[in-house]
Amino acid sequence: MQHTFLRALLAGVLTAATTQVQALPSKPVAIEDLARLPALQSVTLSPDGKRLVGLIPSPKNPDETALATWDTDSLSSGPKVVTPSGDHMKFIAAVALKAGKILAVGRQEWTGELGGCGEGKVTGATRTFMTKPYLTGNDQKTFDEAFASDTHKLGISQRTQRCLELGGTASLVNMLPLDPDRVIIRQLSEISLTSSYYLYNLKTREMELLFRGGTRATPSLFDSRTGKVLAKTEIVPISGDYEQHVLLLNAKTGQFELQAPLTTKLSDRHSVNVAGIDDTTGKYYILTDQFSDKIQARLYDSSRHAYDTEPAVADKDYSIGGLLFSTRRSNFNQVVGFVVDGPHQQTVYVDPTLKAIQAAFRKAFPSQQVAISDYTDDFSTVLFTTQGPGTPIAYHLLRNGKVANLGSQRPWLGKGLNLDERWVTYTARDGREIPAILDLPIGWKQGDAPAPAIVLPHGGPWARDYTGWDVSGWVPLLVSRGYAVLRPQYRGSEGLGRSLWLAGDKQWGLKMSDDLDDGAAWLVSQHFAAKDRIAIFGYSYGGFAAIAADVRAPSPFQCAIAGAPVANLGRLGTSWSDNRLQRILQGRTVKGMDPMQNTAKAHLPIMLFGGDRDVRVPPFHPRDFYKAVKGTVPAQYHVIADMPHSMPWYPRQQRETLKLIADYLANDCGPGGL
């Protein structure tokens, strides 16, 4: 029976899928095509397989979003219900829930005094955003603040009310797949501003307390059948440091027991995450790098207080990014796959049916990254996505053996761009191996003259890049205009091994920047780039790296572009985060060369830009650096109206910033441009 189903599945997928033959563009990708609101995004499938929920451009204004639902049995009829964003609150995400409910997330501009609530000024008005989750039904007739308590908030100060409004009061934690009506939510206390966790009935709004949070205690694993807390994490101060304690529930005694082998110092930054429990043995799955530079999945016996001697899942080159547990009744909670955190997040299925489905999708969409998003209990309906370096994310629905191509985020790009993207490694000056993503100019081939190039460091710096479609639009913008783009995963990057991550501590503008300079030298040595035609462009921490390049000598770069850049390490160290533990963990690693103390050494033309609603990297950073160097080097500074630090950005902001980048490189990056 299963083989018959899979043969029909494969036939349906191959028939419906369109062979994606990419063609070279005759001209650079238009900025408008990269800046437009996605035609389709944030698509999810309801657990019963009957509905799709997603965001589309509003029929009232193509630069704003609308919440849309489709019946999966009548997709050709288009969305059944469409609700445009309001005059103030704009939809930025959506999730199809059970019990006929939809979770929609909205965002709006907000200006006022924070008084210490969240990121922003302690005194005076801050220009920022307010984000809220809403619950609505399939008919989208009413929108209520999601998971809000019905208790009247008596005695709550105006400041606390402001904190709740800005920080959001609740969020979804666990869908509890076997329960028809209830989910697990996290709710912020109106009094203590600490988080507690509840079972929440989507139909009746009744709430049942599962875990009362404190300032240092959080649940780390719930039983996906009942919602019971199985593991919790506590942060304990120890002699000027902190320890992370993991406590696991003893099923016999009903008590939580401290597990010494899982205890780590926060300053050591080991990963110890409780990912799940094996129903057969009662052992816990732990994702940890206690045994290897890369994260492995290990089974842990809480009764013996001991790990198994061998990992349950490991990869020799990359970390294990997660385990996938079945949501189907027949094999609920069994591990059906795992994620390898490689050049892209690759899911490896061990469940035979999911493995076969994934293989069929990959055969139908060769050279694409295929990801299964949602599926029904009987696999009759499966939502999946495809994407590639030159092909934007597209959504597809397998329904009763037939595949419907729901649409691409950017269908106006046609069959995509013929991007040559490679995962490469080069050696830094001290011998450390630095992984990187190399995107070659469209149409460029080995033996052609070296191209102009951009070194593009990511933000964070505790982050990393992945191969595939670049949602910022920066990479397709640049490669379609003849630039090679190198994205170094410099020391300090997270997710590619603990050694590389820790090597960035206190190296801002020092070895972290050496890695970028060495990446430029590697481009030249491999004949990808011309020595005198290389620029550096980065955003957030990447913007810091661009500013640092301007005051470091010698430099391999012809000019620098810094988006939302950190410029003043001294001021950053005192405002790193509103979270005390985060300041301790990451704030103390933010040391090195301070560009604002070295502005007299500026020697590269530079263009800076940032949003006036950016509370993560406030406007004083780029503004002060611009004022300090504008008399020494050709410098520009552009303020982007209403732009926050992180995506999603409005189309008008994308149009403005992409044009600034393209024009600056072509006309102002040194004599004659880049």
Q: Determine the average pLDDT of the residues in 138-150.
A: 86
Is residue 152 over pLDDT 70?
A: no
Residue 279 confidence (pLDDT): 95
The bridge status of strand 451-455 relative to strand 529-539 is parallel
- What is 619-632 written as a DSSP string? THHHHHHHHHHTTT
Query: What DSSP line would sit under 245-297, residue for residue?
Result: EEEEE-TTT--EEE-GGG-EEGGGT--EEEEEE-TTT-PEEEEE-SSSSS-EE
Percent of the chain surpassing pLDDT 70: 89
Residue 244 has pLDDT above 80, yes or no: yes
Cα–Cα dist 513/497, whole Å: 19
Instruction: Look up the pTM and report it.
Output: 0.93
Distance, in Å, from the CA atom of 108 to the CA atom of 11, rounded to the nearest integer, reads 46
Pick left, alpha or beta for residue 238 (phi over 0 → left; psi -120 to 50 → alpha; otherwise beta).
Answer: beta
**pLDDT reading at 547 higher than 80:** yes
**Side chain identity at 396, as an amino acid letter?**
H
Give the span between the Cα atoms of 49 and 68, in whole angstroms. Answer: 16
Residue bearing tokens 């732990």: 286
Which comes out higher in pLDDT, residue 189 or 541?
Answer: 541
DSSP secondary structure letter of residue 266: G
* Distance from C-alpha of 464 to C-alpha of 472, rounded to nearest angstrom: 14
Whole-number pLDDT of residue 7 = 54
The sheet with strand 195-201 has its strands ordered as 170-174, 182-188, 195-201, 207-212
Q: Among 1-15, 132-146, 235-249, 538-552, where is mean pLDDT lowest?
A: 1-15
Which DSSP helix (H) or strand (E) runs through 208?
strand 207-212
Contact 278, 299 (CB under 8 A): yes
Tokens of 673: 């441009």
Least confident of 240-244, 271-275, 662-666: 240-244
Ramachandran sector of residue 381 (left: φ over 0; alpha: ψ -120 to 50; beta: rest): beta
- What element of type H or E holds 478? helix 474-479
Please state the rounded mean pLDDT for residues 590-607: 97
Instruction: Tell me which DSSP letter residue 206 carries.
Output: -
DSSP state string for 568-580: -HHHHHHSS-S-H
Q: What is the pLDDT of residue 671?
A: 77
Q: In the structure encoding, which two tokens stand for residue 254, read together?
A: 């009903």
Residue range 234-256: mean pLDDT, rounded: 91
- What confidence tier does 148 reach under pLDDT thresholds 50, 70, 90? confident
**pLDDT(127) > 70:** yes
- Report phi then psi at 355, rounded to 5: -60, -45
What pLDDT, on the 0 to 100 scale, is given for residue 403?
94
Instruction: Specify the pLDDT at position 240.
Output: 81
Res. 172: pLDDT tops 60: yes
Condensed to tens digits (0 to 9), the pLDDT of residues 246-274 reads 999 998 899 999 999 999 998 899 999 99
Domains and CATH numbers, the chain: 33-208 (no CATH), 420-668 (3.40.50.1820)
Which tokens hold the place of 324?
């996938």
Percentages helix, strand, coil for the chain (3-state, rounded to 5) are: 20, 35, 45
**Residue 239: band (very low, low, confident or very high) from pLDDT cuts 50, 70, 90:** confident
111/109 Cα distance (integer angstroms): 7
Query: Can you give the pLDDT at residue 167?
Result: 58
pLDDT of residue 27: 83
Predicted local confidence at residue 385, as pLDDT: 98
How far apart (Å, rounded) are the C-alpha atoms in residues 415 and 390?
Answer: 9
For residue 436, the cross-strand partners are: 424, 488
Q: Which two tokens stand for residue 528?
A: 């990808």
Asked if 442 contacts 480 with a C-beta cutoff of 8 angstroms, the reply is yes
Give the list of residues 6+ apart from residue 480 with CB closer than 8 angstroms, or none: 25, 28, 29, 417, 442
d(CA 150, CA 253): 35
**Secondary structure of 105-159 in HEC code, one letter for each residue:** EEEEEEEEECCCCCCCCCCCEEEEEEEEEEEEECCCCCCEECCCCCCCCCCCCHH
pLDDT tens digits, residue range 26-75?
A: 589 999 999 999 999 999 999 999 999 999 999 999 999 999 999 999 99
Which tens digits make up the pLDDT trace of 290-346? 999 999 999 999 999 999 999 999 999 999 999 999 999 999 999 999 999 999 999
Asked if 520 and 557 touch (Cβ cutoff 8 Å), the reply is yes
- How many residues does the structure list for the chain? 674
Residues 6+ apart with CB under 8 A from 627: none
Report residue 53 as tokens. Answer: 């929920």
Quick one: pLDDT at residue 163? 63
For residue 227, pLDDT over 70 is answered with yes
Residues 400-416 pLDDT 10s: 999 999 999 999 998 88
* Residue 362 in this model has a pLDDT that exceeds 50: yes
For residue 20, is pLDDT > 50? no
pLDDT of 109 over the 80 cut: yes
Name the phi and psi angles at 337, rounded to 5: 180, 175
Whether 657 contacts 563, CB under 8 Å: yes
Regarding beta strands 529-539 and 560-563, do their DSSP bridges make them parallel or antiparallel, or are they unpaired? parallel
Tell me the pLDDT tens digit for each residue of 493-530: 999 999 999 999 999 999 999 999 999 999 999 999 99
- Identity at 563, one-letter amino acid code: G
Where is average pLDDT lowest: 143-152, 179-188, 583-592? 143-152
Average pLDDT of every residue of the chain: 91
Top pLDDT among 39 and 4 is at 39
3-state secondary structure of 171: strand
pLDDT at residue 21, rounded to an integer: 36
Please write the tens of the pLDDT for every residue from 414-472: 888 889 999 999 999 999 999 999 999 999 999 999 999 999 999 999 999 999 999 99
